[in-house]
């Protein structure tokens, strides 16, 4: 996630420059042929403008829908933040008895391990995401490519070797950790570390965490419908392909006009492809690119809160941005 006030123009242009450059070359070839070879085929601008309006409306629909997915993902993780703090407060307040400090630490560490598993799983690449382009970026994580080894190394800080061995072969380790948490709380209830009423409250928190995980997985595992995404791309290509033919007559005349024709065409093509690309990169808010939900930063913030509740040592520092980007 980019956290500075604005992307600079050059950052925006560098991210989306190829449609502009290729558009200038494409339009330049058409304008050159029209000027030097007296190639007079052109189209009236009015029907091209109608097509452009239709494409703009369609891109607006796609961008709104993509933004809804990103904003929903942020709300989901906001809910996970609240549920995690509630779980932490309940752990500190409810658990009493012999070795209660060690048990509180065990419960909260297992919850932090769940947060770690969840964010790793949400960063695994899907076929419809931008894996290749993401790996070219300086700020994008490679957590999905390092999934198994890196996840196990991180979990060693929070779980016993036996529990790690138990969950690492599972298809969804985060789900198994919440199950383990529930089983452990049941054992503590039998040993009278808290009463049945407080046990039901713990179970309510587990249910909320399962709900948050399920909502995040719904966005991760169900892509923006491909028919809408594909249609937006092809409509943009069709419109941009005919733009230079509508500008030939408008810029006919001397050589200066013929120079302006591909430049203006390239600008129009760039604007439409930029809109399409913004929607395309907003569809998948957990893949780990520049504009996604910073789940690593959020999870680290939750970890700090929970470990401070039990006066733990060696608390991690908040995730710092790199040139304005948070992961």
| Predicted local distance difference test score (pLDDT) of residue 142 | 55
Are the C-beta atoms of 108 and 84 separated by less than 8 Å? no
Residue 97 is assigned to a structural domain of this protein: yes
The sign of the torsion formed by the CA atoms of 226, 231, 234, 236 equals negative
- Tens of pLDDT, residue by residue, the chain (327 residues): 777 788 888 888 888 899 999 999 999 888 888 777 776 777 888 899 999 999 999 999 999 999 999 999 999 999 999 999 999 999 999 999 888 999 999 999 999 999 999 999 998 888 888 876 655 554 455 555 566 678 888 999 999 999 999 998 899 999 999 999 999 999 999 999 999 999 999 999 999 999 999 999 999 999 999 899 999 999 999 999 999 998 888 877 666 677 888 999 999 999 999 999 999 989 999 988 778 899 999 999 999 999 999 999 889 888 877 777 777
Residue 322 is assigned to a structural domain of this protein: no
Residue 46 is assigned to a structural domain of this protein: yes
Domain count, the chain: 1
Instruction: Please tell me the distance from the alpha carbon of residue 267 to that of residue 8, in angstroms, as a whole number.
Output: 18
| Predicted local distance difference test score (pLDDT) of residue 144 | 58
- Extract long-range pairs of 40-45: CB within 8 Å, 24+ residues apart: 41/245, 41/248, 42/245, 42/246, 42/248, 42/249, 43/242, 43/245, 43/246, 44/246, 45/246, 45/247, 45/250
Instruction: State the residue range of the domain holding 159.
Output: 9-309
Closest CA to 145 of 133, 131, 156: 131
Question: For residue 156, what are the contacts with CB-CB under 8 A and spacing of at least 6?
Answer: 164
**Measured torsion, CA atoms of residues 279, 285, 287, 291, in degrees rounded to the nearest 10:** 70
| Predicted local distance difference test score (pLDDT) of residue 33 | 82
- The three-point CA angle 218-224-229 to 5° equals 170
Residue 246 is assigned to a structural domain of this protein: yes
Instruction: Please tell me the distance from the alpha carbon of residue 10 to that of residue 4, in angstroms, as a whole number.
Output: 15
Residue 327 is assigned to a structural domain of this protein: no
Residue 2 is assigned to a structural domain of this protein: no
Residue 315 is assigned to a structural domain of this protein: no
For the whole model, what pTM was predicted? 0.89
| Predicted local distance difference test score (pLDDT) of residue 139 | 47
Residue 106 is assigned to a structural domain of this protein: yes
Q: Greatest CA separation found in the chain? A: 93
């Amino acid at each position: 996630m980019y956290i500075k006030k604005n992307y600079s123009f050059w950052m925006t242009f560098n991210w989306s420059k190829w449609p502009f450059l290729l558009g200038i070359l494409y339009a330049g070839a058409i304008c050159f042929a029209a000027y030097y070879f007296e190639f007079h085929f052109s189209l009236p601008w009015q029907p091209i403008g109608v097509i452009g309006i239709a494409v703009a409306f369609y891109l607006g629909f796609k961008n709104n829908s993509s933004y809804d997915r990103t904003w929903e993902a942020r709300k989901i993780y906001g809910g996970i933040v609240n549920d995690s703090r509630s779980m932490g407060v309940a752990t500190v307040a409810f658990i009493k008895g012999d070795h209660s400090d060690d048990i509180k630490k065990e419960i909260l560490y297992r919850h932090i391990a769940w947060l770690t598993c969840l964010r790793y799983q949400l960063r695994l690449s899907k076929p419809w995401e931008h894996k290749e382009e993401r790996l070219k970026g300086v700020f994008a994580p490679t957590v999905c490519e390092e999934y198994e080894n890196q996840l196990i190394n991180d979990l060693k800080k929070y779980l016993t070797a036996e529990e790690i061995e138990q969950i690492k072969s599972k298809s969804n380790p985060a789900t198994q950790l919440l199950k383990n948490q529930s089983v452990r709380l049941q054992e503590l209830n039998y040993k009278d570390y808290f009463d049945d009423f407080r046990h039901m409250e713990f179970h309510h928190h587990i249910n909320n965490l399962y709900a948050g995980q399920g909502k995040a997985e719904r966005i991760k595992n169900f892509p923006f419908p491909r028919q809408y995404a594909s249609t937006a791309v092809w409509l943009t290509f069709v419109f941009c392909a005919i733009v230079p033919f509508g500008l030939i007559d408008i810029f006919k005349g001397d050589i200066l006009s013929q120079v302006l024709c591909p430049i203006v065409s390239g600008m129009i093509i760039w604007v439409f492809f930029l809109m399409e690309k913004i929607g395309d990169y907003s569809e998948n808010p957990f893949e780990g690119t520049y504009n996604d939900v910073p789940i690593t930063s959020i999870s680290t913030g939750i970890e700090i809160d929970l470990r401070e509740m039990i006066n733990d040592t060696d608390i991690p520092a908040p995730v710092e941005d790199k040139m304005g980007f948070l992961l």
